[in-house]
């Protein structure tokens, strides 16, 4: 993409409404614009990141054997009356009346809808296990939206639901989600720690939240630093292997890690003192097992092997995709701007032409732009008639992990400069070497 043709309305000054880093930087980098309180438009670069996160979530869900689908944003109140949550959910639910006077709502979650779909189409244990999910916009009418996309009213979220014949099978679904979520966050370049949590309004027994450590997190968290060393890496996972999934679940849930809601000071004291950590965390996902709560109230039953009609065991699982954009920035930025992890960056490399209009510089930039594009390395070429300083400041702000700097001075010696946004370290390379380095860097992403 050529910056001269890209809609990237960057702001030199900080808009007064933004108080935390991710919100400030998303506005300044031209990723989002506020539409009303807690509701945002996603401009091209923000949208690109959002889509990439969505893709990673899809890939990992499908890898775990789950079924993608899409449910509507607007739901009928009738289903919610059936589960009893129409009254329970309270003011956070945006209620709408259609022209016929029917009570509708903008969905904050989809347990009722999915259970209705399930019960109408599944009658036998032979159709289980089943996990359905979708990635869709949700709405919760927060009393006080804040922190940009981290706590908006409208948000983009993956939510999934598993249906199993009994508790052991449902617990395997739980473990499977634990593993697939760990993988998902790892791929995004994030360290997300599963922590024992409260079940909140969704209800249920077993639940873990996934938290990204960041100073601006909304929750206080306590953990054994040993958990930071755990890594899924590229180990082979068989999602149908109950024992393996259970073992990984145990591996990650054994070290102490809890939010302030479930914190147990006595248990925490058993952790060796030098490994006892507390900080702030941003919740980016949660998994639940809630048994037959919805299948009982909504009559979602199947026939088991003995011919008995039994309620299915369910769980639900969520990843806050739009919130993740903010969380990643909170976890990865400096005073100049964003620092994107390679896996989620909107463009893989920025090309800075230091002397627009100079024949040698223009030619070298064009050639590299075309070559990188052909290799799928998605460059963003700053071809504006701007001074070097302005181009550097823009690149630093939008946070592309690598920058190719090209100007007459270097070209005289046949070199261009490749700079890491994260470390600031530059190396001078001939263009072909620079391309080879980028290919190598992105090969593993």
Task: Kindly list the residues in this chain that would bind RNA in the complex (CB under 7 A).
Answer: 10-19, 34, 36-38, 92, 140, 142-147, 150-153, 155, 157, 200-202, 209, 218-219, 283-284, 286, 318, 320, 322-323, 336, 354-355, 357, 386-390, 392-394, 396-397, 405-411, 417, 419
Strand residues in 6-153 grouped as ranges (E): 32-36, 39-42, 67-68, 74-76, 94-97, 103-106, 130-139
| Residue 427 backbone phi and psi in degrees, to 5 | -135, 145
Smallest separation (angstroms) from RNA to the CB of 24: 10
Query: What is the H or E stretch that residue 414 is in?
Result: none
Q: Which is nearer to RNA, 263 or 336 (CB)?
A: 336
CB 315, CB 290: distance < 8 Å: yes
Smallest separation (angstroms) from RNA to the CB of 145: 6
Q: Which is nearer to RNA, 164 or 386 (CB)?
A: 386
Q: Provide the Cα torsion 132, 168, 224, 221; round to 10°.
A: 50
Smallest separation (angstroms) from RNA to the CB of 430: 13
CA 136 to chain centre: 13
CA 122 to chain centre: 31
Reduce the DSSP state of residue 44 to 3 states and report it: helix
Q: Which is nearer to RNA, 12 or 235 (CB)?
A: 12
Q: Which is nearer to RNA, 246 or 360 (CB)?
A: 360
Smallest separation (angstroms) from RNA to the CB of 325: 10
Q: Which is nearer to RNA, 61 or 322 (CB)?
A: 322
CB 128, CB 67: distance < 8 Å: no
Pairwise CA distance, residues 12 & 45, whole Å: 17
Q: Which is nearer to RNA, 245 or 330 (CB)?
A: 330
What is the DSSP annotation of 222-270? EEEGGGGG---TT----TT-HHHHHHHHHHHHSS-EEETTT--HHHHTT
Between the CA of residue 311 and those of 171, 314, 425, what are the distances in Å? 16, 9, 59
**β-pair partners for 134:** 159
Q: Which is nearer to RNA, 281 or 346 (CB)?
A: 281
Q: Which is nearer to RNA, 18 or 300 (CB)?
A: 18
Q: Which is nearer to RNA, 102 or 409 (CB)?
A: 409
Q: Helix 44-63 and helix 167-187: axis angle, to 10°?
A: 140
Smallest separation (angstroms) from RNA to the CB of 312: 23
Burial (Cβ within 10 Å: 0-12, 13-18, ≥19) of residue 124: exposed
Q: Residue with structure tokens 């070199």?
A: 415
Smallest separation (angstroms) from RNA to the CB of 121: 28
Which residues are CB-contacts of 71 (< 8 A; sequence separation ≥ 6)?
107, 110, 113, 114, 117, 134, 136
Smallest separation (angstroms) from RNA to the CB of 147: 6
Smallest separation (angstroms) from RNA to the CB of 258: 14
Q: Which is nearer to RNA, 305 or 389 (CB)?
A: 389
Q: Which is nearer to RNA, 129 or 152 (CB)?
A: 152
Task: Give alpha helix (H) positions in 4-76.
Answer: 21-28, 44-63
Q: Residue with structure tokens 């079940």?
A: 199
Smallest separation (angstroms) from RNA to the CB of 440: 21
Smallest separation (angstroms) from RNA to the CB of 123: 32
Smallest separation (angstroms) from RNA to the CB of 144: 4
């Amino acid at each position: 993409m050529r910056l001269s043709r890209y809609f990237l309305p960057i702001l030199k000054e900080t808009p007064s409404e933004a108080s935390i880093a991710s919100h400030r930087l998303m506005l300044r980098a031209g990723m989002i614009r506020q539409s009303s309180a807690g509701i945002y438009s996603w401009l091209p670069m923000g949208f690109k990141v959002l889509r990439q996160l969505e893709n990673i979530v899809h890939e990992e869900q499908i890898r775990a054997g789950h079924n993608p689908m899409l449910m509507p944003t607007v739901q009928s109140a009738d289903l919610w009356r059936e589960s009893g949550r129409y009254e329970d959910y309270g003011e956070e639910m945006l209620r709408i009346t259609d022209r016929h006077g029917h009570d509708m709502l903008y969905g904050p979650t989809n347990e009722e809808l999915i259970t209705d779909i399930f019960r109408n189409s599944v009658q036998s244990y032979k159709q289980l296990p089943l996990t359905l999910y979708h990635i869709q916009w949700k709405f919760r009418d927060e009393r006080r939206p804040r922190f940009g996309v981290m706590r908006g009213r409208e948000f983009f979220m993956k939510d999934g639901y598993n249906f199993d014949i009994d508790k052991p099978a449902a617990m395997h679904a739980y473990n499977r989600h634990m593993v697939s979520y760990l993988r998902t966050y790892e791929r995004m370049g994030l360290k997300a720690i599963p922590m024992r949590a409260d079940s909140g309004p969704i209800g249920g027994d077993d639940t873990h939240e996934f938290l990204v450590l960041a100073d601006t997190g909304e929750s206080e968290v306590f953990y054994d630093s040993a958990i930071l060393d755990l890594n899924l890496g590229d180990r082979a996972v068989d999602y149908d292997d109950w024992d393996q999934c259970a073992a990984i679940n145990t591996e990650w849930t054994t070290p102490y890690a809890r939010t302030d809601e479930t914190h147990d000071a006595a248990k925490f004291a058993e952790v060796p003192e030098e490994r006892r950590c507390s900080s702030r965390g941003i919740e980016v996902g949660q998994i639940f097992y809630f048994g037959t709560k919805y299948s009982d109230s909504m009559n979602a039953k199947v026939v088991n092997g003995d011919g008995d009609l039994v309620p299915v065991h369910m769980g639900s699982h969520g990843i806050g995709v739009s919130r993740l954009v903010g969380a990643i920035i909170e976890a990865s930025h400096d005073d100049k701007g964003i620092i994107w992890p390679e896996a989620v960056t909107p463009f893989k490399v920025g090309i800075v032409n230091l002397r627009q209009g100079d024949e040698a510089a223009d030619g070298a930039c064009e050639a590299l732009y075309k070559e990188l594009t052909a290799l799928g390395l998605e460059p963003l070429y700053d071809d504006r008639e701007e001074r070097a300083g302005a181009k550097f400041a823009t690149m630093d702000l939008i946070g592309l992990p690598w920058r190719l700097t090209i100007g007459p001075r270097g070209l005289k010696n046949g070199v261009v400069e490749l700079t890491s946004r994260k470390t600031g370290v530059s190396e001078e390379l001939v263009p072909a070497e620079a391309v080879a380095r980028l290919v190598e860097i992105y090969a593993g992403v």
